[in-house]
Amino acid sequence: MILKENFTLVNGVEIPKLGLGTWFISDNDAVQAVIDAVNLGYRHIDTAQAYQNENGVGKGLKDCGVKREELFVTTKLAAEVKSYDEAVASIDSSLKTLGLDYIDLMIIHSPKPWMEFHSDDSYFEGNRETWRALEEAYEAGKLRAIGVSNFEKADIDNILESCTVKPMVNQILAHISNTPKELIEYCKNNDILVEAYSPIGHGELMKNQEVKTIADKYGVSVPQLGIRYCLQLNTLPLPKTANPAHMKNNAEVDFVISDDDMHVLLNMEQIEDYGEASMFPVYGGKMK
């Protein structure tokens, strides 16, 4: 059962192979979503400062009936935090808001502030400053692992050139019809685990007849196929839902996609329009 399986990060920390994403889940609803997920066997919860639900996630973790050390909690520094002092304050703020003594994984949400996601400014210096604060919190035991999100090769190289602790994770948009193969390969070569957010393409995959045909062939739903696809790429999928029935369905992925079908899915034409999600920078322009 996938919920009992783990990846091992480069520092030896184990991270459950399937996580619950909480983007767009309100602070109030996050409490029950976390409780429901944990009751179904999830042990990996992913939140972010930008989601404005760390407080609710923290309450859910506290009330779920499972020991803290059995749970894996990820949060993300706001994309706008690009200085050492801001990052130090933000890390402590997340610990306080979540109500936790330590966070299992904390990552930089984006190499650039969201409003400048497609700008030419690389923010290399700001990311190095922010990374230094994460390193110190890691060494102090406040964080068990540290990583990045939405980072391209150049962004990661910038960190690798100056860091004392390498990024352990890169969380990126990756799903059937949008699989950044070179970036995934580059991360693997640097011992960086790739986490795949929006493994169902923000719902757009549900409209793809070719994907649906392959899902039908295996007797599974499109979300199940999308999640299994990410797992077979050795990436960690983070499907987002507050619906317990969907949580259960998302975890029932004990089937194997054939090599031929993986090839078809891996080379499928890229989604051009993410519907309502296109207003968000990550979906509004193609990730390289």
| Catalytic (active-site) positions | 51
- With a CB cutoff of 8 Å and minimum separation 6, the contacts of 267 are none
Amino acid found at 283: Y
φ/ψ (deg, to 5) at 242:
-110, 5
CA R_g for the chain: 18
Residue 240 CA to residue 230 CA, distance in Å, equals 14
Residue 275 CA to residue 18 CA, distance in Å, equals 26
Residue 65 CA to residue 37 CA, distance in Å, equals 12
3-state secondary structure of 152: coil
Antiparallel, parallel or unpaired: β 14-16 and 44-46: unpaired
Residue 73 CA to residue 207 CA, distance in Å, equals 32
- Classify each residue of 188-204 as buried b or exposed e, where b means 16 or more C-beta atoms within 10 Å of its C-beta: eeeebbbbbbbbbbbeb
- Side-chain-facing half-sphere of 33: CA atoms under 13 Å: 29
3-state helix, strand, coil in the chain (%, to 5): 45, 15, 40
Residue 227 CA to residue 241 CA, distance in Å, equals 13
C-beta atoms surrounding 89 within 10 Å: 13
Task: Retrieve residue 186's tokens.
Answer: 């580059």
